[in-house]
């Protein structure tokens, strides 16, 4: 049985005040109705403070991107070792905003996954098709290319990894893939991993992301291969986030 996992992706939102306010509110609302793992991937500068705040709780902190390099003259970059040192458990890799706005390629993203794993972080590798891909019926080809980029690298540890399927057209738009549609893609992804390693594929948590809200979470998380969610907008509202965690 895979444990459900819900990760909030705050993106470039928040402040010191909001970090403490949100984390306290989430912590206060955690009760025995929640059995999923809970993560929050937050801006770098708040990680240290957040880590102190959640130390005694079930919430774990993560980052939203990481450098592919270990250390050195890479102005502005943050290494996986640094993230591990301040207590991160997860790091998002290849969120569609990184892929499109910052031109991050599959090749680069695989290097980031390896850098994260080398520092014992769990990379959350995100994949997803654009609206144009979706409309022209090439969703499975796009997903295959993004997932295969990772799987074809023998150094990637499939047991220290989370995958997230986020249709780009569903991110922040209020649109979601139907639970059945999302399930098909999740099953397809797990099938690709199965070709490499059956046990790892069975253990792998595959999250769905893209306008997950309290009212659609249950039907999405009820699908066989959907193991939780990557939550953007709704993760900035403690009540909505907790409600989604309860559904997982």
Please tell me the distance from the alpha carbon of residue 57 to that of residue 7, in angstroms, as a whole number.
15
Among 14, 94, 167, 232, binds ligand PGA (CB under 6 A): 232
Q: Indicate whether 166 belongs to the interface with ligand PGA (CB under 6 A).
A: yes
The residue whose Cβ lies closest to ligand PGA is 232
Give start and end residues of each alpha helix (H) in 75-232: 80-85, 96-101, 106-118, 131-135, 139-151, 179-194, 198-203, 214-221
Set 97, 104, 129, 166: catalytic member: 166
H or E element in which residue 39 lies: strand 37-41
H or E element in which residue 21 lies: helix 16-29
Q: Indicate whether 162 belongs to the interface with ligand PGA (CB under 6 A).
A: no
Among 39, 123, 167, 210, binds ligand PGA (CB under 6 A): 210
Q: Indicate whether 47 belongs to the interface with ligand PGA (CB under 6 A).
A: no
Among 116, 147, 230, 238, binds ligand PGA (CB under 6 A): 230
CB of 143 closer than 8 Å to CB of 185: yes
CB of 63 closer than 8 Å to CB of 94: no
Contact code string over 169-208 relative to ligand PGA, x by CB under 6 A: --xx------------------------------------
Q: Indicate whether 8 belongs to the interface with ligand PGA (CB under 6 A).
A: no
Angle made by CA atoms 106, 175, 25, in degrees to the nearest 5: 90
Q: Indicate whether 79 belongs to the interface with ligand PGA (CB under 6 A).
A: no
Residue 14, number of CB atoms within 10 A of its CB = 18
CB of 61 closer than 8 Å to CB of 50: yes
Q: Indicate whether 231 belongs to the interface with ligand PGA (CB under 6 A).
A: yes
Residue 95 appears among annotated catalytic residues: yes
**Coil/strand/helix, residue 180:** helix
Among 5, 227, 233, 245, binds ligand PGA (CB under 6 A): 233
Residue number, 149 or 170, with CB nearest to ligand PGA? 170
Number of residues that bind ligand PGA (CB under 6 A): 13
Residue number, 172 or 191, with CB nearest to ligand PGA? 172
Crossing angle for the helix pair 214-221 and 179-194, nearest 10 degrees?
A: 40
Set 37, 68, 95, 186: catalytic member: 95
CB of 65 closer than 8 Å to CB of 109: no
Longest dimension (CA), the chain: 48
Q: Indicate whether 119 belongs to the interface with ligand PGA (CB under 6 A).
A: no
Q: Indicate whether 9 belongs to the interface with ligand PGA (CB under 6 A).
A: yes
What does the CA dihedral 170, 122, 47, 25 come to, rounded to 10 degrees?
60
Residues that bind ligand PGA (CB under 6 A): 9, 166, 171-172, 209-212, 230-234
Catalytically active residues, by annotation: 95, 166
């Amino acid at each position: 049985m895979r444990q459900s996992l819900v990760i909030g992706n705050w993106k470039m939102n928040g402040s010191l005040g909001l970090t403490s306010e949100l984390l306290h509110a989430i912590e206060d609302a955690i009760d025995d109705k929640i059995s999923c793992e809970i993560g929050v991937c937050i801006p770098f500068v708040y990680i240290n403070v957040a880590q102190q705040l959640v130390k005694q709780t079930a919430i774990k902190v993560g980052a939203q991107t990481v450098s592919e390099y270990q250390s050195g003259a890479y102005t502005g970059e943050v290494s996986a070792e640094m993230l591990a040192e301040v207590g991160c458990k997860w790091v998002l890799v290849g969120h569609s905003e990184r892929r499109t706005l910052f031109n991050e390629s599959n090749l680069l993203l695989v290097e980031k996954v390896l850098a994260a794993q080398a520092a014992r972080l769990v990379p959350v590798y995100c994949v997803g098709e654009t609206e144009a891909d979706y409309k022209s019926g090439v969703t499975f080809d796009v997903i295959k290319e993004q997932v295969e980029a990772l799987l074809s690298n023998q150094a990637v540890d499939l047991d220290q990894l989370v995958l997230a399927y986020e249709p780009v057209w569903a991110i922040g738009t209020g649109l979601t893939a139907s639970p059945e549609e999302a399930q098909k893609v999740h099953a397809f992804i797990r099938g690709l991993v199965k070709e490499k390693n059956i046990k790892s594929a069975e253990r792998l948590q595959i999250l769905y992301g893209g306008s997950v809200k309290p009212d659609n979470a249950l039907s999405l998380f009820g699908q066989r291969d959907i193991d939780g969610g990557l939550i953007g907008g709704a993760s900035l509202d403690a009540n909505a986030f907790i409600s989604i965690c309860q559904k997982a």
